[in-house]
Structure 1
Amino acid sequence: MKNLTPALGTILLASAGIVSAQQPSATFASFNDWLTSDAKGVRIGADGKLRLAPGLRRVGTLPEGVVWAAVPDGSGGAYLSAGNEGKLFHYTAGQVKPLAQVKGGIVFAMARLGQDLIVAPSGENKLFRVTPGGEVKPFADIDARLVWAMAVDGTELVLAGGGEKGAALVLAREGHSRKLAELPEETAFTALASDGKGGYYLGSHGRGLVLHYTGVRTGDRMETLMATGFEEVRALVVEGGEVFAGATNGLSSKFASGSLERREGYLAEPGTTTKSAVIRLDKDRVPQTLWQSAQNQIFALTAWNGQLLVGTGNRSRLFALPLSEKARGESPFSALQDLGAAQATAFLRVGSDLMVVASNPAELHLLNESQATDGTIESRVLKASPLADWGRAYVEAETPQGTGVEFQFRTGSTETPDGTWSPWTPPLLSGERPHVAPARFAQFRLKLASTRGGATPSVEGVRVHWANRNLAPLWESVDIMPPGLVVTRTAPPDDIGIERVPLETQKLIPALAYAGSEKRSFRRGAQAFFFHVADPNGDQLEFGLRLLPESGAPIELEKAWKERFFTFDTLAVPDGKYRLEITASDAPSQPLNTALTSTLRTAPFLIDHTPPVITELTATPEVDGVRVRFTARDQTSVLKEAALSADGDAWVQVAPDTRIFDTKEATFNVLVPRARIKGSRVLVKVTDLSNNEQTATVAIGEVKKK
């Protein structure tokens, strides 16, 4: 509570040091800094360095949204299962053509047996043979409703899937099948890879197990090698005697429904746990997690060109993990390519190249060992608060002879770049200011290029600077509290008894204790205010406060008040109408020459600390009791209530002759019943709107003028 006279001191003092105004900037130097960027032909290393990636080109598209399975056709092409109705396609000679449609649901698994294709549509408990000409024939009945993976073993097929009793491993040949093993504790076997010795490694759904089946010729023995801690093992790769498992959560329900998400944002929701991991089992079957992600789910794995490639969703980004331990020590992983679709669902060898199958949209891409000659990466969208002047960017890059890096910039007013954004600027030098209009959003693009085979530029980091345009604070309102309410941050002053506090004010003082972060109490003559004001930039605010009388000079109360509430002692100023002028300033968060202010004046409020006057008080005996008459008047406020006591104990509320308290002066004529009178005197009390109170007493039968 602020007092106008230094001699009376202050009840509430607050101070805060000036907050340094640091201009925003964004640094792109680590892998996570580039995580939400869109990269095409650019490899993002685990160390955050950008280099040109292996060459990638799209070679085909499918009319269906999702490709579920793919196998080579033996002639440089591929057979593909797509959509939810058992549709099969053939990619050959650079074209995708419809092949056939099989009865049943989604075909999750296929294998090529001789020149024919063996497929397992979901829910049918059957295998079908599809000839190169598209003729569909029954092949065998099987004890598995869903087949997730299939491998050729001579003239027979090994099927990994799920049946009525859980995970099932089935051996099938034309016209016949039998169950090799089952695991009731798991829902299904979801991945299958040969161990090269007649046995198979299996991945399961349920507890995400990696298992080893020794094979028909070696004893039909099933052994659990590892529980990954994930829901399922979606892909397995055996390379150099080691087993690599792609474990993931939350895929099975999407596969079963035949619906994979469209491409979505990269960042995980708050509280999201790990979605997937690549786990290696070395030759001694010791597990080691090589890579994990909270954003990506694993759809496919393959070994290629000394690396383990990981196909992920929902950004169709390919990750590369070196197969050799020495190479992993130098660079444990990299984001190799982004297909621009939602999921990378399968890999196929095509000579020395690698076919990568994408879904949503369904596309075929060829990845080759030769390095791309150019690539681009677009940063995440930078956001000002709320508008910015965009400044210089500094690019740290190594550019061997024959290579180069270009930097470009653009701005816009929508969070997602669209046609309303500015065009990309011409290439800028590192440290050159972009000539763009102030805007809320911005983005930069890097172009990496090489005219020499094998040579690549390397970008080590980018730092972008900008200055948010300062906007003045925005006032909503100021709450004027009832007279007498004291609001403090620290301990309140000594309070008078709660029974003396007006009822409407008591409701604002929860037991005279804490109410939010401040404390509330009551003191005669106090006047409190609450400020409702916001700053568009989120700046810290301070307030200049002046008391404005109806006439006369303003009275300065505070120059740099830091709280959103204020209380001052009105006893030092005369009665009358006043306004409070509050000037909000963002100076604590802004440089001296950019700080802005915004001023609000409150509605008029009354300062009144003079109690009413009671005159012409009489108490005349009558037959039925005592007639009490008096007049009450106040110089400033309307009268609010009156009461009398004729027994020296209880107060009884009384109304004026007009029955309404709506004037500064009122007369009272009250007959007090004989039963309420216990003494020889009557006490009356009158209160005005400012809670000023006056009392007077008169002996029964006495006339008292004042």
Structure 2
Amino acid sequence: MNISKTTIRITLAGLVLAASATVGAVTTQSFVLDTADVFLEGELEGAAVHSDGSVRAGAATQRTALENVPLAYSVAQRGSKTFIGTGTNGVVYEFDGKHAKVFAETGELLVASLAFGRDGALYAGTLPNGRIYRIDTKSGKMKRFSSPKGAKHIWALHYDQRRGELVAGTGPEGKVFTVDSIGRAREIYKAEASHIMALAGDGKGTIYAGTSDDALVLRIGPNNEAQVVHDFPGNEVTAIDYHDGRLAVAANEFKTTPGARFKPAVSGTAPAGRRAARPRPGSGELWRVDADGRAEMLVSRKDTHLTAVQWGTDGAIYAGSGHEGRILRVEPDASYSIWVDVEERQVLALNLRAKNPSFVTGDGAAIYRVQPGARRGGTWTSKALDASFASKWGRLTWRGRGHIVLQTRSGNTQTPGETWSAWSKNLKQPGAVTSPPGRFIQVRAKLPKGHSAVLRAVELFYLPQNQRARVSDVQGTRPPPKRGEPARQPLPPTTLLNLNWKVTKPDSDTLRYRIDYREEGQMTWREMFGEDTNLTDAKYTWNTGSIPDGHYVVRIEASDELSNPGRLTLRSSAVSEPIRVDNHPPRIEHLKVRRGRVQGRVVDDMGPVARIQLSIDATPWRDVFPTDSLLDSRSEGFDLPVGDLPRGAHIVAVRAFDASGNQANREITVKTGR
């Protein structure tokens, strides 16, 4: 099946629409799509996204699925035939360019590596029993060839021409073996790491090995002496490739060990069609090591690890990814593009220098043949762009080169589906969007045949529907004490009330507030201030000194008139619970001293009386209780002993407070005859 019939999705984790307009007032806004990260959030079909923020025609591929096979893990080609190592039933498939068929069944869990020997036979490295099988490429006849001592995983196989032997990278003891023509394995190096994940060679007896646990690349010379080429970041060198004196290296950081996702079934054989485990989550870096030992990091990806690397015949490096099924093409200057994107989640092995270039995938096994020449035409489709609210679409413009045509479709669900509009007619030059109003919209760009067309930027204008702000929780409270001022009870009197309210703004309009009030028993609202006051903060200090005491209801109105023209202005309002206003002090009535007792009554129009205090001859004030011992009403009587006073004149002072902190003072002079 041709890849052009398959929808290919890109969703790069952690990347966001970099230039999506901030939701704001009812004014024209736009989506600006002009970076590689933004383009990569969309879907690619035969198109390539470059690191310079452009979209161009990509490689043409042809897909052949391996039905009911979870993953294709290794690949090797000889002549017109390509062989594919798979899991989780350890089957080797033969592919003739059109059809794939079972060629050999190892009975193992996974064929992790394939290599051709000097005799022309195909050798298959497997796990979890650490066996190497020899397969005749004509008849398919298979036999167990070698079982290197201590090995459970044959991660990599490489045939070295000068040595005339197979080289095997193994785990979990981190050993490198050579295997002679009759299957005798000889250990030539043991690493401190647990696994040798990758092998490459220069054809002259020097072997390069990548390790897991410590992410080293080792150089093992013809005399089997080992040196460290470079210690890479991360904890695994998953793939290496040697070409013309240079190495390409995939260094990854994983949270799990290499063999953790390949567990044999209890019976020892995985059931048919068993689904592979999800790929190990990780991050990856692509490095180049020159002949003089200089190591240079070319690409770093936090959203995916790298599964395979290979030098191309054109000097570029190709790297397969393990998260979204992509192949990166990296130029010598470290610029790169998403060269191929496929529907499977993992690209696990590359064979791009072969006569018939190909690669294989996991999380749904398939083999892809890369077609020579340019693609007939590629397509890039944006992700669903969210205007946040129902919107009217405006003009669609773009920058680029070549005969590019664009289309749009819109809807009101985040995931495009049947309820969305159909794709619009082709726009061959910038113009008005004809898709119906909605919250979400997609843009699709069609690139013509050849490599000349380049899409560099897309901008789509829109007008969002205005949204009403909502006011709630209107409160009136006394100003807090000033810094450093001790707390007092009751609080000191004040005519000021701090009005506060909550407001919910779906958009970022600037709001203007108007405040009205009325006594709770009245129906007429009165303005708190005139139109010349432009209040935009959700708070206001109300001076109540000019209004009678009582309980008042406050109404707050929010209007977005400052951000929207009159016909589009929206308003909302909310009222408070009754707020107490008490600015007048209580009265001390009928104050007298009789038979050694101070008597009187404290009366407050609003009530309740909060505190009564007594002082004789300027002694410190002391709290006293009313006659009923409770301060709970607007009128409280008191009858207090003055105690034994020496002969002469004495000043008896009483003061009282109401609940608002208003204070009344009164005193009388009394003479004693003793």
**Shorter-chain TM-score category?**
0.7 to 0.9
Match of residue 635, structure 2, among 655, 665, 677: 665
Residues 268-304 of structure 1: CA deviation (Å, up to 9, x unaligned)? xxxxxx9322222223222223333232321111233
Who is 1:5 aligned against?
none
Who is 2:378 aligned against?
375
> Does residue 556 of the first structure (1) align with residue 521 of the second (2)?
no
Amino acid at match of 2:576: T
1:426 deviates by: 2.2
Closer, same or farther in 2 for the Cα pair 1:122/1:40, shift >3 Å? same
SS in 2 for 1:77: strand
Amino acid at match of 1:234: T
Partners of 1:305 and 1:478 lie apart in 2 by 73
Closer, same or farther in 2 for the Cα pair 1:187/1:594, shift >3 Å? farther
Partners of 2:237 and 2:485 lie apart in 1 by 72
Match of residue 119, structure 1, among 124, 127, 136: 124
Closer, same or farther in 2 for the Cα pair 1:353/1:120, shift >3 Å? closer
SS in 2 for 1:257: coil
* Equivalent runs, 1:433-472 vs 2, <5 Å: 433-450=432-449, 454=450, 456-472=452-468
SS in 2 for 1:420: coil
SS in 1 for 2:545: helix
Amino acid at match of 1:96: A
Contact 2:84–2:94, Cα closer than 8 Å, also in 1: yes
Contact 1:143–1:178, Cα closer than 8 Å, also in 2: no
1:660 deviates by: 5.9
Match of residue 502, structure 1, among 489, 504, 509: 489
Partners of 1:587 and 1:143 lie apart in 2 by 78
Contact 1:545–1:582, Cα closer than 8 Å, also in 2: yes
Match of residue 49, structure 2, among 44, 63, 84: 44
Contact 2:601–2:638, Cα closer than 8 Å, also in 1: yes
Partners of 1:692 and 1:300 lie apart in 2 by 82
Who is 2:514 aligned against?
544
Who is 2:185 aligned against?
177
> Does residue 475 of the first structure (1) align with residue 462 of the second (2)?
no
SS in 2 for 1:572: coil
* Equivalent runs, 1:501-540 vs 2, <5 Å: 501-502=488-489, 524-540=494-510
> Does residue 314 of the first structure (1) align with residue 330 of the second (2)?
no
SS in 1 for 2:257: helix
1:20 deviates by: 8.9
Closer, same or farther in 2 for the Cα pair 1:479/1:147, shift >3 Å? farther
1:197 deviates by: 1.1
1:633 deviates by: 2.0
Partners of 1:553 and 1:348 lie apart in 2 by 82
1:611 deviates by: 0.9
Who is 2:570 aligned against?
596
Partners of 1:466 and 1:210 lie apart in 2 by 53
Match of residue 654, structure 1, among 593, 605, 625: 625
Partners of 2:535 and 2:198 lie apart in 1 by 67
SS in 1 for 2:248: strand
| Aligned residues with identical type, % of pairs | 21
Who is 2:394 aligned against?
391
Contact 2:251–2:284, Cα closer than 8 Å, also in 1: yes
Who is 1:353 aligned against?
356
Partners of 2:421 and 2:459 lie apart in 1 by 21
Partners of 1:262 and 1:422 lie apart in 2 by 36
Partners of 1:594 and 1:410 lie apart in 2 by 27
Contact 1:614–1:633, Cα closer than 8 Å, also in 2: yes
Contact 1:485–1:523, Cα closer than 8 Å, also in 2: no
1:472 deviates by: 1.6
Who is 2:584 aligned against?
610
Partners of 2:494 and 2:241 lie apart in 1 by 82
Who is 1:512 aligned against?
none
1:446 deviates by: 1.0
Contact 1:162–1:189, Cα closer than 8 Å, also in 2: yes
> Does residue 691 of the first structure (1) align with residue 643 of the second (2)?
no
1:620 deviates by: 4.1
Who is 1:10 aligned against?
none
Who is 1:81 aligned against?
86
Partners of 1:619 and 1:358 lie apart in 2 by 104
Partners of 1:553 and 1:94 lie apart in 2 by 84
Match of residue 159, structure 1, among 152, 157, 168: 168
SS in 2 for 1:118: strand
Who is 1:301 aligned against?
309
Who is 1:24 aligned against?
29
Who is 1:8 aligned against?
none
Amino acid at match of 2:470: L
Structure 1 range deviating more: 282-291 or 370-379? 282-291
TM-score after normalising by structure 2: 0.83
Closer, same or farther in 2 for the Cα pair 1:263/1:29, shift >3 Å? farther
Closer, same or farther in 2 for the Cα pair 1:376/1:260, shift >3 Å? farther
Structure 1 range deviating more: 149-158 or 33-42? 149-158
TM-score after normalising by structure 1: 0.79
Partners of 2:258 and 2:668 lie apart in 1 by 90
Match of residue 147, structure 2, among 123, 137, 140: 140
Closer, same or farther in 2 for the Cα pair 1:592/1:201, shift >3 Å? farther
Partners of 2:382 and 2:258 lie apart in 1 by 30
Amino acid at match of 1:52: A
Amino acid at match of 2:497: Q
Residues 565-585 of structure 1: CA deviation (Å, up to 9, x unaligned)? 222222233323323222223
Who is 1:431 aligned against?
430
Amino acid at match of 1:313: G
1:115 deviates by: 6.0
Who is 1:420 aligned against?
419
Contact 1:261–1:314, Cα closer than 8 Å, also in 2: no
SS in 2 for 1:275: strand
SS in 1 for 2:369: strand
Contact 1:386–1:536, Cα closer than 8 Å, also in 2: no
More helix by share: 1
Partners of 1:430 and 1:532 lie apart in 2 by 48
Amino acid at match of 1:309: Y
1:182 deviates by: 1.7
Alignment size in residue pairs: 622
SS in 2 for 1:32: helix
> Does residue 198 of the first structure (1) align with residue 211 of the second (2)?
no
Partners of 2:61 and 2:413 lie apart in 1 by 31
1:604 deviates by: 2.2
1:373 deviates by: 0.8
Contact 1:80–1:90, Cα closer than 8 Å, also in 2: no
Partners of 1:263 and 1:459 lie apart in 2 by 34
Partners of 2:627 and 2:405 lie apart in 1 by 87
1:610 deviates by: 0.7
Closer, same or farther in 2 for the Cα pair 1:565/1:658, shift >3 Å? same
Who is 2:242 aligned against?
238
Match of residue 338, structure 2, among 331, 335, 338: 335
Residues 74-120 of structure 1: CA deviation (Å, up to 9, x unaligned)? 5423222222x544444346333445554554442233445654333
1:673 deviates by: 8.1
Contact 2:87–2:109, Cα closer than 8 Å, also in 1: no
Structure 1 range deviating more: 560-569 or 189-198? 560-569
Gap runs ≥5 in structure 2: 1-23, 263-275
Partners of 1:412 and 1:674 lie apart in 2 by 91
1:609 deviates by: 0.6
Match of residue 585, structure 1, among 559, 562, 565: 559
1:337 deviates by: 1.7
Partners of 2:415 and 2:626 lie apart in 1 by 67
1:532 deviates by: 0.9
Closer, same or farther in 2 for the Cα pair 1:117/1:250, shift >3 Å? same
Task: Give RMSD over aligned pairs.
Answer: 3.4
Contact 1:582–1:600, Cα closer than 8 Å, also in 2: yes
Closer, same or farther in 2 for the Cα pair 1:649/1:660, shift >3 Å? closer
